[in-house]
Amino acid sequence: VRLFRRRVMGCMEVGRLLQQYLDGDLDAGRAHRLEAHLEDCRRCGMEAETYTQIKASLERHRREAVPRDALDRLRAFGERLAQGVEPEMP
């Protein structure tokens, strides 16, 4: 049990790595330990949730900011792909 405890990630380390974790930049081993900490530690769990919400709202905002004609071109590109037509790059 003591050996396991020593390998558990501390709050400071979680705080330092959280951003990378949410961006998917963390290696599997550390991501796993970070997840274990988030499950045990309410404070960090809530912080992770806040980060996730901020990140989601930023991404939503970014999507809305995409110009309409760019979206139309992308859609046309996808439709040509679906029809098996060799598409030009949008």
Amino acid, res. 69: D
**Residues in the chain, how many?**
90
What is the binding site for Zn ion (CB under 5 A)? 11, 41, 44
Give whole-number Cα distances, 65 to 47, 60, 72, in Å: 27, 9, 14
Which residue, 11 or 81, is less far from Zn ion as judged by CB? 11
Nearest-approach distance from CB 9 to Zn ion, in angstroms: 8
Q: Residue 31 corresponds to which tokens in the numbers above?
A: 């991501």
Nearest-approach distance from CB 53 to Zn ion, in angstroms: 18
Which residue, 36 or 80, is less far from Zn ion as judged by CB? 36
Residue nearest to Zn ion (CB): 41
Residue with tokens 């905002």: 61
